[in-house]
Amino acid sequence: MLNHTDFTRELHGNRLVAIVRGSDPAAALRSVLALAQEGVRLIEISLTTPGAETVIAQAGKEAGPDAVIGAGTVVTRQDALRARDAGARWMVTPALDEGFEHAVTLGVPVLAGALTPTEAVAAMRSGAGAVKLFPASLGGPGYLRALRDPLPDIPFVPVGGVDAEAARAYFAAGAVAVGVGSPLLGDAPHGGDLTRLRARAREFLAVCATGDAA
């Protein structure tokens, strides 16, 4: 596991969270390894992926020391325990739910799902390392900018419908990082094209390297 300081540093330094959610565990693992080979460090493997614990464990062994493997869609206490036991170094929750509470109890850095100002403040007060603004597509970059006016110290990571163009806009609005699923992964976690995945990974990494600083 990471400590909270290291997790925050990873978000600020890398600015991209790749979200792997697939229907085929072998394809999901291949996608993780391809992302890692392209230089994507923060890789979230959703627990909705069949065999997710095995994918997390294998990714931790095979992706190399530069990949920081986390578990996503942590909803329940059992999810948090499954992710911890599989070797997830950080966790992502869709809401301030039982999974969030137990991940914090386990001492695992958490990217906690929230949408409103009240939820975002509650997440940070309860031990989140950063706030997953979800679903970010509801309000877009303008909503993030409005949130940051009264809450400038909360590290927001927009997730949901973030393509490369939207990522640029979110960085300009003050995001510390973006979380990207299908606009990055495409069909790769379902057995699809890894070559295109690699190309999209390079595109997103370039955006994260050149986007406006949060």
Sequence-separated (6 or more) residues with CB below 8 Å from residue 159:
17, 19, 113, 132, 133, 134, 135, 136, 178, 179, 180, 181
Alpha-carbon distance of 60 to 157, in angstroms, equals 23
pLDDT for the residue 127: 97
Alpha-carbon distance of 89 to 146, in angstroms, equals 31
Confirm if 52 and 71 have CB atoms less than 8 A apart.
yes
Ordered structural domains, the chain, with CATH: 4-210 (3.20.20.70)
Alpha-carbon distance of 102 to 80, in angstroms, equals 6
| Residue 61 falls in the annotated catalytic set | no
Residue from 147, 201, 138 nearest 176 by CA: 147
pLDDT for the residue 90: 98
pLDDT for the residue 93: 98
> Exactly one of 10, 38, 44, 119 is catalytic; which is it?
44
Residue from 206, 207, 109 nearest 166 by CA: 207
> Exactly one of 38, 61, 101, 132 is catalytic; which is it?
132
Instruction: Measure the CA angle with vertex 72, ends 119 and 14; round to 5°.
Output: 85
Whole-model pTM: value is 0.96
> Over pLDDT 70: what percentage of the chain?
98
Res. 213: pLDDT tops 60: no
| pLDDT single digits (tens) 15-59 | 999 999 999 999 999 999 999 999 999 999 999 999 999 999 999
What mean pLDDT is reported for the chain? 96
| pLDDT single digits (tens) 157-185 | 999 999 999 999 999 999 999 999 999 99
| Residue 203 falls in the annotated catalytic set | no
| pLDDT single digits (tens) 61-104 | 999 999 999 999 999 999 999 999 999 999 999 999 999 999 99
Alpha-carbon distance of 164 to 187, in angstroms, equals 17
DSSP state of 160: S
Q: 189 forms bridges with which residues in the sheet?
A: none
pLDDT for the residue 2: 84
